[in-house]
Amino acid sequence: MSLTPEEVHRFFDLGYLVKPGLYTTADLQPLKDAIATIVDTEATRYVAEGKLTSGHDGEGFERRLACIYAESPETGVAISAAIMGKGGGGFSGGEMLSLLRHPPLVDCICSLVGPDVIGASAYRIRIKMPGYPGGEVPWHQDSGYFLPHCDHHLMVTCWIPLVDATLENGCLYVIPCGHRSGILRHYTGGHAGFLEIPGAELPAEKPVPIEIKAGGALFLTNLTPHASFANRSSIVRWSIDLRYQGVSAPNNIDEAPETYTPEREMGTMACHPSEADFVIRDTQHPGREISTPEAFKNLRDRYENARPYSPGRGWTPLSERKP
Ligand SMILES: O=C(O)CCC(=O)C(=O)O
C-alpha cells in the first residue's frame, strides 16, 4: 500500500497527509494488550499500597486509566510513566516493533523517503487522560526537538490513534503549509514543560483539526507545526507516534552511545542522539534490519540506560521571551 503520486504531492505541498485504515483492529491489539497488562500490574500494586481504593478492573482499555486518574491524578501519571519509560520512548516490546515494521505503513514511508528506511529514535506512546494538562502538547515542529543540522532532512512523523481521535478527546491540529516557513523559534518551558511556539509566532494559516479513526495515520513533516489540546471526553485518547527517515539523514546506526560526548562535533551526530535509531528496511542488506523483539529491546534499552549526551538546540526559556 504505497502512496499515490497525488498523495505524495499533497504531503509535500500541505506538510501533512491523512491515510485511513493502515492498521486493522487486530494489528493494534497486541500493543493495546501489552499496555493493558502494565496498567493492570501497576494498578494492583497501587491498590495494595493503599494509594487507590479500586483498580477499576471492570473498565476496558479506553476507560480504565481515565478512572484511575480521576480518583488519583498522581497515580494516573505514575502509571503513564511506567508505560512510556524514562525518556518517553522506553516501551521497547516486540508489540511496538511490529507496528513500526508494519509493511503497509513502511511502504507508504518508502514513497516519501526512498526504498531504504531508518526508524528514527523518538517514537512515543501518548496517553491523553481526560483533564490531564501534561497530555496537551503545545504548538511545535518536531525539528524543534532535533539537532539543527537535521532541519533540512525529511523525517516523517506518523501519528496513529489506538482509539478514534476526535475533537472532543483531543485530536491533533496542524497548520497547513506551515512547513514552508522553515524552522520556527521554539521556547523551552512551554505548556506542561514541552517546547512551545507562542501563538503570535505561528504562521498565519488557520489550524485544521484532524479527526482520525483508530488505525489510520496522519503523516507530518518534521517542519509541520502541530499541537493537541484538552481531552474533554471520558476516555483516554491513546495514540502512538512513529518517526522515519531516509538513509542519508544523520543517524546513530552502529554507533555506541558512549561515542556521544560534549567534545564530539555536532554535525557528526544523529538528529536525536539520546535514543537509538534502527534499520527498518535495507533492500541491499536485509540482515541489517532490526527484525526480532530481542534485537530491538537490546538496542533500545542500551541507549535508554546510557542516556547518551545530546547538545540540544539552546532554545530560549519562554519566561525570557521578548514581546
Ligand atoms: O499526541 C499528541 O497529542 C501530540 C503528538 C505530537 O506532538 C507529536 O507526535 O509530535
Is the separation of the CB atoms in 55 and 75 below 8 Å? no
| Mutation to probe ligand 1, out of 84, 121, 126 (largest number of atoms < 8 A from CB) | 126
Model confidence pLDDT, tens digit, residues 239-259? 999 999 999 999 999 999 999
Is the pTM higher than 0.85?
yes
Contact 81, 144 (CB under 8 A): no
The CATH number of the domain covering residues in 5-28+86-320: 2.60.120.620
CA of residue 168 to ligand 1 center, whole Å: 16
pLDDT given at position 90: 74
* Cβ atoms of residues 84 and 127 within 8 Å: yes
Distance 158 CA to ligand 1 centre (A): 10
Question: Which atom of ligand 1 is the closest one to the Cα of 228?
Answer: 3
Cα(320) to centroid of ligand 1, in Å? Answer: 25
224 lines ligand 1 (CB under 6 A): no
Low-confidence ranges of the chain (pLDDT < 50): none
Q: What is the pLDDT at residue 87?
A: 63
Cβ of 32 closer than 6 Å to ligand 1, yes or no, is: no
**CB 159 near ligand 1, within 6 Å:** yes
